[in-house]
Homo-oligomer: A and B are copies of this chain.
């Protein structure tokens, strides 16, 4: 293969059909490169002014009238509908609320109740720990049910049986960046009579996700990573049409009531996905996340996610070309369809490498024992950034 140069990267930037989206986000501080889209995505340029308006007009002037006049009360459903196309979901399928962990708890309880005669929820040992904790909590409460952790998601086929109630996986492994085949796993799960539930935290906004076409039953995900909704942004949850009228709410609250303002003593769930709302929406977090979703609304998603796959493949090619393979081993899958939003390498001293990268103005993340991760958002990453990263990485690996 011809040796890649920075000029090649610059040509890719010049030909990038979605390059203009970068201008919708606040540029990095001088000379800095951010590869932590898997942790906290960039800020839309509209966020400060819209937040200021939410504070001065919404909070300070409208006060309680903001629930109606500034759209606070409808924000969980409105933002859900804006998010839906990014994850291949239909209208009225998705709401924005609570944290990812709380939503996992709600949906795992709900899913297990859809299969009362089955006792096992299958996940994998590499799933994000908080997902496992929240799922265990759900099963503890239901009683008589337990979580079975696969060593590898590849073992799912042989693990599924008539006692499997739910298959609960993260779409992308938070360490390796491996992306699971959602459609294939959903087919297996459905064939076994179980319910599928996916955590999209490391895929939503990073890669193409198609919940409807893949036949996903339930999904959750976070708003602050690739979706760029701001630190601690509200999370989301999705319920397929199949279970939308059937699955009860786990934590009933006034936001999930069929007639919110009746303040009735007895709970009557809202039709559809809204019943999974619980308390008052996190209004200021919603304002920030909506700034990002408005960018997503205008993005050409096909070319955008193609760019994401391509730019991460370029990074892998550049690491292959420029770095000592004994010093930086590529951990992420090389095939883009099996990869999520970040590229992971294994190194001798992950925290030290991450620290030295930060000293050279690169923000990334490390995870025990030996992983350094580069989370790459197709919304604002440039091909030349990959070149510049690898140059700095090589220096950081020397230590």
Residues of A within 8 A of B (CB): 26, 29, 34, 36, 39-40, 42-43, 47-48, 51-52, 55-56, 58-61, 63-67, 72, 98-102, 105, 109, 125, 128-130, 132-134, 136-137, 141-143, 149, 222, 224, 230-235, 249-255, 257, 262-265, 267, 278-286, 288, 358, 363, 365, 367-368
Residues of B within 8 A of A254 (CB): 101, 129-130, 133
Contacts of A40 in B (CB 8 A): 59, 63-64, 66
A sample of 27 cross-chain residue pairs with beta-carbon separation below 8 angstroms, ordered by A number, consists of A26-B56, A34-B63, A36-B64, A42-B60, A55-B230, A64-B363, A98-B99, A98-B279, A99-B253, A100-B279, A101-B255, A102-B253, A130-B253, A130-B254, A132-B267, A133-B252, A134-B253, A137-B249, A141-B141, A141-B142, A141-B250, A143-B143, A230-B283, A232-B280, A234-B282, A262-B368, A283-B285
Instruction: Assess whether B34 is in contact with A251, with CB atoms less than 8 Å apart.
Output: no
A66 to chain B, nearest CB (A): 6
Chain B residues with CB under 8 Å of A34's CB are 63
Q: Are A251 and B284 in contact (CB under 8 A)?
A: no
- Whether the pair B59, A278 counts as a contact (CB closer than 8 A) is no
Residue of B58, B132, B224, B257 near A280 (CB, 8 A) is B224
Copies in the complex: 2
Known contacts A39-B63, A134-B278; 9 additional CB pairs below 8 A are A36-B64, A59-B230, A101-B278, A129-B263, A129-B265, A130-B253, A133-B257, A231-B283, A232-B285
Quick one: which of B58, B143, B281, B284 contacts A284, CB cutoff 8 A? B284
**CA A232 to CA B75, docked complex, whole Å:** 11
Contact yes or no, B36 A63, CB < 8 A: yes
- Residue on B with the closest CB to A103? B279
> Looking at A102, A284, A286, which has the most chain B CB atoms within 10 Å of its CB?
A284
> Of B55, B98, B281, which one neighbours A98 at CB under 8 angstroms?
B98
A48 vs B60: C-alpha distance when bound (angstroms)? 10
Determine the distance from Cα of A284 to Cα of B65 in the docked complex, in whole angstroms.
21
CB-CB nearest in chain B for A235:
B279
